[in-house]
Amino acid sequence: MTKQNPWFETVLEAQRRAQKYLPPSVYAALVAGSERGRTPQDNLDAFAELEFAPHVLGHKADISTATTILGIPVSIPVMMSPTGVQAIRPEGEVAIARAAANRGTIMGLSSFASKPIEEVVEANPNTFFQMYWTGSRDQLVQRMDRARIAGAKALIVTTDWSFSIGRDWGSPQIPEKMDFKAIWNMKWEGISHLPWARSWLTGGGLPDLTAPNLRNPETGVAPTFFGAYYEWMNTPPAQWEDIAWIKEEWGGPLMLKGITRVDDALRAIDAGVDAISVSNHGGNNLDTTPASIRCLPAVASAVGDQIEVLLDGGVRRGGDVAKALALGARAVMIGRAYLWGLAANGQTGVENVLDLLTMGLRSALLGLGHHSIESLSPADFHIPADFARTLGVPFPAHETGRSVPPSAV
């Protein structure tokens, strides 16, 4: 039998390896989605609907993929979107952060992550810290202070979550903590996934499933994942004034993640944010929200150059990155792509994913005859007539006779 090359050639192959490596309950928690699972699928399908218009000659030899995100130079327009990566590998977010640093890009660290921000910033000084609107204002200030002292370069605030639970294919049972009962219940998953179980046993013990970045500074105790989720569910939802308050308290660059509507994008500018991510939370939130790439053109054209526009959701290939940039994103964020890489081959697997996206983006630029990502435009693609979605248009369509803002694609 031939030995498998540890290097994988597409993110989908990394996903296949991740599915083999991880216990089914861990894999299912990463695949996620909600209700029908239509939105995560649309995030993937929509990219494939955009068709390249490549040139046959006139390709450029010297190609640059470098840009900046919130003032930070990056070698590729791809950064890590925050995800709580509990129980994939013991190195967790530190491995992801190091891979991102090695490939010259930014780490987004979730407040539900398994590693403390101090360790992650040490692995990658260009780390953005992500917060949900959870707990009291005093707690939020404490978390922002801790992130600032640790050296986080920007804050990502995610407010799109609407606690839409339930999947037609069922949800995995996730233990509150890794006590004897939980280990006993997971024994067959562990036995049938020995390399995964071994990595934890040799890597310092089983995952404790706590959120160290939400640690109470007085007691020093970090809540369990479910404890943190309970606090979040019981926190009154954030309003626009709260985003303005966060901006003032934080004082540094701020990204609001989860925008799909034009009116929300414009309000975000008024609230003082420096960047938004057009995102549907990877399709884990309200199912049948359109793919984020469908919402991008209208949002990007309404926002113009006032703030930076990023996109996340469904990015698996370098060509997807090119498409998002052509439709108005400055850069993209990836979620599951690096989770599959981490499961498939640890830090090297995450680097493998970033290399694939870089190579794919360079191929797209070469075929389209561009020197750099700045030259990408909608003219590089065939965009089906019914592709884009314009949500939350600030003027009624019947008054203008148009269903999209004038400058939208």
Ligand X SMILES: Cc1cc2nc3c(=O)[nH]c(=O)nc-3n(C[C@H](O)[C@H](O)[C@H](O)COP(=O)(O)O)c2cc1C
Residue ranges binding ligand X (CB under 6 A)? 30, 32, 43, 81-84, 110, 112, 130, 158, 257, 279, 281-282, 284, 312-315, 334-337
**Minimum distance of ligand X from residue 37's CB (angstroms):** 12
**CA distance linking residue 283 with residue 217, whole number of Å:** 33
Place of tokens 């562990």: 190
Residue closest to ligand X (Cβ): 335
**CA distance linking residue 256 with residue 404, whole number of Å:** 23
Radius of gyration of the chain (CA): 21
DSSP string, 39-95: HHHHHHHHHHHSEE---SS---S--B--EEETTEEESSSEEEPP---TTS-TTHHHH
Nearest to 186 by CA among 85, 84, 114, 87: 87
CB nearer ligand X, residue 310 or residue 365? 310
**Minimum distance of ligand X from residue 59's CB (angstroms):** 29
CB nearer ligand X, residue 193 or residue 336? 336
Set 281, 371, 382, 398: catalytic member: 281
List the structure tokens of 243.
């985003």
CB 332 within 8 A of CB 77: yes
CB nearer ligand X, residue 2 or residue 234? 234
CB nearer ligand X, residue 32 or residue 69? 32
CB nearer ligand X, residue 74 or residue 368? 74
Q: Is 371 a catalytic residue?
A: no
CB nearer ligand X, residue 232 or residue 375? 232
Characterize the bridge pairing of strands 275-278 and 381-382: unpaired
CB 136 within 8 A of CB 171: no
CB nearer ligand X, residue 84 or residue 328? 84
**Minimum distance of ligand X from residue 340's CB (angstroms):** 9
**Minimum distance of ligand X from residue 110's CB (angstroms):** 3
**Minimum distance of ligand X from residue 58's CB (angstroms):** 33
Give the distance from CA 379 to its chain's centroid. Answer: 27
CB 4 within 8 A of CB 248: no
CB 255 within 8 A of CB 310: yes
Q: Among positive and negative, which fits the CA dihedral 205, 187, 228, 338?
A: positive
**Minimum distance of ligand X from residue 16's CB (angstroms):** 16
**Minimum distance of ligand X from residue 112's CB (angstroms):** 4
Cite the DSSP H helix spans in 332-380. Answer: 336-368
The residue type at 82: P
Contacts of 201 (CB under 8 A, 6+ apart): none
List the structure tokens of 66.
């470098």
User: Which residues participate in catalysis according to the annotation?
Assistant: 281
